[in-house]
Structure 1
Amino acid sequence: MQRRAVAVYVAVFLVVGGAAGTLVATADTPEVSFEDPDFERSAGETFEHAGQTYSVTEVTEKTESGGHGGGASHFMLGTIKWNVTAEASASWSNGSTVTYDGEEWTVVIEGEDPSEVTLREQIDKTAILQNDSSADNETVTSDGEEYVVVRDENGDKTLVPSDEYFPAPEERTFAEGDSLEYDGNDATIDDVTTSEAVLVWETTENREVELKQGDTVTFGETTYVAHFPDKETLVLSSDQEAYQAQLDQIDTFQEYVTGLRRIAAILTMGALTLIGLAFVPSRY
């Protein structure tokens, strides 16, 4: 009777454990999917959002080795690039020296309510004097006036006012709204005050973002979650609630599978234990 009872219990354990194992083996693991994602692109394809064009430059599987002898991990990575037009500016302070058109100029702003800025050429007086064998290499000041000492063929000296000796500096004047090439950019004189002139121009900035599974990125005012349905495609969806709900469903399924595996293991071990006990000799 004892062995018959054991046989019945073993049979029940094996049937229930086998059913649990069958459920684990035949259950379909849920996966994240979007029926109508906002964007679904492969490497080399583009998409637009709020008038801005974005380019998916790479969708690839990456391998990351584990530290301290750990196993390598594999993950998908998508790269998105785009260009952003931004406004840049520069200021020319009144009286300062600026470089323009490959030369140095003095910034001159005159008047109480100016609308123009003048660039006055800086004359290299030292170089001019050194190239003139009849003139001393340095100017002199007399009664507050600057002069150049010029000698004739007899060595007689003559004081020539600097304004007469040196060439008149070139001047270039720009009004508010005028365009000019500045530092390789098409700039505009945006505003002129008594203290400075402000130049503005547009510049292009290159931006890039790398996304893993579940990462989020915000374009404009919309936040998207990244998903990789395969090794060649990047999906961006603004439905983050649906994505989280599917993750929760997957977690629940994993807990369900783990529970069934434990049941199958416990019942199998129980059956083996009962079989072993059935063959233990009785003392009575």
Structure 2
Amino acid sequence: MAVFVALFLGVAGVAGALTATAESPEIAFENPEIDASQNETIEVGGQSYVVADISESENDAGQMVISGTLEREFTTQTSETWANGSTVSVDDREWRVEIDGENATEFTLVEVLDRQAILGADDDAENETVTLDDGEYVAVTDESGERTLVPADEYFPAPEERTHASGDTLEYDGQTVTVDEVTAGGAVLVWETTETETVEIAQESTVTIGDTDYAAHFPDASTLRMTTDVESYQAQVTEIERFNQYNSGLTRVLVLSVLSSIMLAGMAFIPSRY
């Protein structure tokens, strides 16, 4: 029995030595296309990106992982259609869109008067208009107390009108827009806006930017490396998985050998019945 105990201890010693001395392979990119720190500008997929963030956080398993974010700003064309007869807001005022004719090449913005505000600001006028069979009136009381009905078209100021044709520019919603097209149904306005594209990058992952595939790796919490040699990266990942399986097997051999030695040694002290 002592021979078996010695044998298991020997196996455990060899497994322990191999486990302790084995060097775990690590991801390493040879001549990566990207080797950058946070806030650096890089060229990826034919576009300029900024390494907006590289940070370390704890995942659900309690492990610390590194991730990063790439950002780029780009301009894109935005359009909006003002339908004929609709109301739009320009210069903090309301306007009605009017387009005449099937082959129109221009449209007119007609100011929508705030009649209630005008009446409220006039101490001599009643706050509501009066509608009779022959039209709409405003009741005005003069200094002598005499009440007079004034036709609404005469009382209220003429609304301002602004005409715009295809190719004209105007200020709308805090930016300069261009009249791209005018049809009987409405006017199409276009302008350029700035948008931000965000690319999230996880540790030891592959990401597609544009038409190019990249393998990404963070050697530390301040550096991002990316390579288009995805095959080499995947081969390294396979090697690491194989090493982990090998190391896990040695650990199990070590544990089983030690337990077997203890069990056999304990059996030697069990009194014999014969």
Shorter-normalised TM-score: what interval? 0.7 to 0.9
Cα contact 1:134–1:152 (8 A) shared by 2: no
Quick check: 1:44 aligned with 2:44? no
Q: CA deviation at 1:97?
A: 1.7
- Counterpart in the other structure of 2:163: 173
Aligned residues: percent identity?
Answer: 49
Cα contact 1:18–1:264 (8 A) shared by 2: yes
Quick check: 1:121 aligned with 2:111? yes
- Counterpart in the other structure of 2:50: 55
Q: Which amino acid aligns with 2:157?
A: P
CA distance in 1, matches of 2:191, 2:165: 16
CA-to-aligned-CA distance 1:157-201 (integer Å, 9 cap, x gap): 887665555433221111112111110122111221112112121
Quick check: 1:24 aligned with 2:19? yes
CA distance in 2, matches of 1:277, 1:139: 113
Q: Which amino acid aligns with 1:48?
A: E
Q: Which amino acid aligns with 1:206?
A: T
- In the alignment, structure 2 segments of 5+ residues that lack a partner are none
Q: Which amino acid aligns with 1:138?
A: T
CA distance in 2, matches of 1:134, 1:20: 102
- Counterpart in the other structure of 1:69: none
Decide which of 184, 195, 213 is 2:174's aligned counterpart: 184
With over 3 angstroms needed to count, the CA separation of the structure-2 counterparts of 1:20 and 1:177, relative to structure 1, is: same
Cα contact 2:201–2:216 (8 A) shared by 1: yes
Structure 2 length-normalised TM = 0.79
Structure 1 length-normalised TM = 0.76
Cα contact 1:83–1:204 (8 A) shared by 2: yes
What does 1:248-259 correspond to in 2, within 5 Å? 248-259=238-249
With over 3 angstroms needed to count, the CA separation of the structure-2 counterparts of 1:202 and 1:13, relative to structure 1, is: same
Quick check: 1:200 aligned with 2:190? yes
- Counterpart in the other structure of 1:92: 82
With over 3 angstroms needed to count, the CA separation of the structure-2 counterparts of 1:94 and 1:19, relative to structure 1, is: same
CA distance in 2, matches of 1:61, 1:201: 40
With over 3 angstroms needed to count, the CA separation of the structure-2 counterparts of 1:24 and 1:54, relative to structure 1, is: same
Decide which of 35, 38, 45 is 2:30's aligned counterpart: 35
Quick check: 1:212 aligned with 2:207? no
Deviates more, 1:177-186 or 1:236-245: 236-245
Cα contact 1:44–1:55 (8 A) shared by 2: yes
Quick check: 1:75 aligned with 2:101? no
Q: Which amino acid aligns with 1:252?
A: R
Helix, strand or coil for the counterpart of 1:243?
A: helix
How large is the Cα RMSD of the aligned pairs? 3.8
Helix, strand or coil for the counterpart of 2:220?
A: coil
CA distance in 2, matches of 1:136, 1:273: 103
Q: CA deviation at 1:142?
A: 5.0
Decide which of 132, 138, 141 is 2:129's aligned counterpart: 138
CA distance in 1, matches of 2:199, 2:242: 32
CA distance in 2, matches of 1:261, 1:226: 31
Deviates more, 1:149-158 or 1:225-234: 149-158
Q: CA deviation at 1:231?
A: 2.5
- Counterpart in the other structure of 2:225: 235
With over 3 angstroms needed to count, the CA separation of the structure-2 counterparts of 1:98 and 1:54, relative to structure 1, is: same
CA distance in 2, matches of 1:86, 1:104: 28
How many residues are treated as equivalent by the alignment? 273
CA-to-aligned-CA distance 1:43-89 (integer Å, 9 cap, x gap): 121212345322212222213476xxxxx321112232332323322
CA distance in 2, matches of 1:136, 1:255: 86
With over 3 angstroms needed to count, the CA separation of the structure-2 counterparts of 1:277 and 1:91, relative to structure 1, is: closer
CA distance in 2, matches of 1:49, 1:224: 9
